[in-house]
Amino acid sequence: MDPVHQDFFEGGAGRERTVAANERAFQRRWIVPRVLRATGDRDLRTTVAGTPLAAPVLVAPTAFHRLAHPDGETATARGAAAVGTAMVVSMAATQPVEEIASAGGPLWFQLYPQPDLDFTEYVVKRAESAGCRALVVTVDSPVFGRRERDLRNGFTDLPSGYACENMRDAAGRVRSIAMDATAGWDRIAWLRGVTGLPILLKGILHPADARLAVEHGVAGVIVSNHGGRQLDGAIPTLDALPAVVAAVDGQIPVLLDGGVRCGTDVVVALALGARAVLVGRPVVRGLAAGGAVGVREALERLATELDLALALAGARRPVDLTPDQVVTR
């Protein structure tokens, strides 16, 4: 891969403290196994916002897949479909959502709220018509994070020949993605009026925001700091998870992304109350290394490791894990 593009995929904001801390937070947790109780077949399946998943690991929305592999987002979607999980298509995808949907697996669509409401509605309708089953609204990006690697590399836009295909307006012109600092909670209420799709908010870290999310009738929240690409110094997601879980009090599912790299990481997040996790960079790395097969192998490996870790932790199903099975040292 072009090292400039690799820096885009791997990098984060500022001094990349949060990028590093997301992974480190998992290293500080230890699993306390239970014994002699997880009898019978294990079952990794779960359902989130109406979408059944073979395992509680989804593909996080990440931008610009054609820069990682010529087959782009379509390959990622094929890899996800092969393992029976959902892919969240980024608004900054380099292929049209209709084409990505041809892979056949369940898709959700990630939206950056745009200041042009008519255009926002147009994009949402398009995702809906393409068969996307949920809308993931990214709320941690009122402005764009300062990515030092990209600034140093002069990487400010897609190279020519590539476009954010889902940013085409009705006239076929590609708009640039705006970060909308004017979007408030009323925008979520507005979105609920323009789509019947379940809405999940991505980028919740504060328990008070989690409660507001419940009050605004969303179908779920994703505890996320955008993989450390927005606010450098933001709390590691695993550290933020317990308070968010307590705040929503079982009313909606809580998902988490950031730093999930292996099956035991998934066990820790589930035990602390996440319904499912999403993975960003591991999927991009799989895509870069081997296209659809690489994505499939990265996700299969996580599912296999999760199955093994569940068995050894004494859980038959993800919901059997309990918070007392994780300690912090």
Ligand X SMILES: CCCCC(=O)C(=O)O
Is 138 marked as binding a ligand? yes
Task: Rule CB under 6 A: choose which of 62, 94, 166, 264 binds ligand FMN.
Answer: 62
Nearer of residues 39 and 176 to ligand FMN, judged by Cβ: 176
Nearer of residues 106 and 228 to ligand X, judged by Cβ: 228
Is 281 marked as binding a ligand? yes
Q: Is 280 in the site for ligand FMN (CB under 6 A)?
A: yes
Dihedral of the alpha carbons of 241, 14, 145, 140, in degrees to the nearest 10: 10
Q: How many CB atoms lie within 10 A of CB 8?
A: 21
Pairwise CA distance, residues 287 & 196, whole Å: 32
> Which entry of ligand X, ligand FMN, none binds 177, CB below 5 to 8 A by partner kind?
ligand X
Which residues in 161-199 are b (16+ Cβ under 10 Å) and which e? Answer: eeebbbbbeeeeeeeebbbbeebeeebbeebbeebebbb
CB of 314 to ligand FMN, least distance (A): 27
Pairwise CA distance, residues 243 & 323, whole Å: 12
Q: Whose CA is closest to 302, among 136, 148, 93, 79?
A: 79
> Residue 126 in contact with residue 166, Cβ under 8 Å?
yes
Helix, strand, coil shares, percent, the chain, to 5: 45, 15, 40
Q: Is 314 in the site for ligand FMN (CB under 6 A)?
A: no
Nearer of residues 23 and 307 to ligand FMN, judged by Cβ: 23
The residue ranges that bind ligand X (CB under 6 A) are: 63, 92, 177, 226, 229
Q: Is there a catalytic annotation at residue 226?
A: yes
Q: At what angle do helices 207-215 and 237-248 cross, to 10 degrees?
A: 40
Q: Is 230 in the site for ligand FMN (CB under 6 A)?
A: no
Nearer of residues 81 and 167 to ligand FMN, judged by Cβ: 167
CB of 63 to ligand X, least distance (A): 4
CB of 164 to ligand FMN, least distance (A): 9
Pairwise CA distance, residues 150 & 179, whole Å: 18
Piece of 36-44, 48-56, 255-263, 298-306 that binds ligand FMN (CB under 6 A): 255-263
Pairwise CA distance, residues 284 & 7, whole Å: 12
Task: Name the phi and psi angles at 220, rounded to 5.
Answer: 175, 160
Task: Rule CB under 6 A: choose which of 74, 138, 264, 325 binds ligand FMN.
Answer: 138
Q: Is 114 in the site for ligand FMN (CB under 6 A)?
A: no
Nearer of residues 225 and 264 to ligand X, judged by Cβ: 225
CA 161-95-283 angle, to 5 degrees, is 110
Is 133 marked as binding a ligand? no
Binding site for ligand FMN (CB under 6 A): 9, 22, 60-63, 90-92, 110, 138, 202, 224, 226-227, 229, 257-260, 279-281, 284
Which residues line the annotated binding site for FMN?
61-63, 90, 110, 138, 202, 224, 257-261, 280-281
List, by residue number, the catalytic residues. Answer: 226
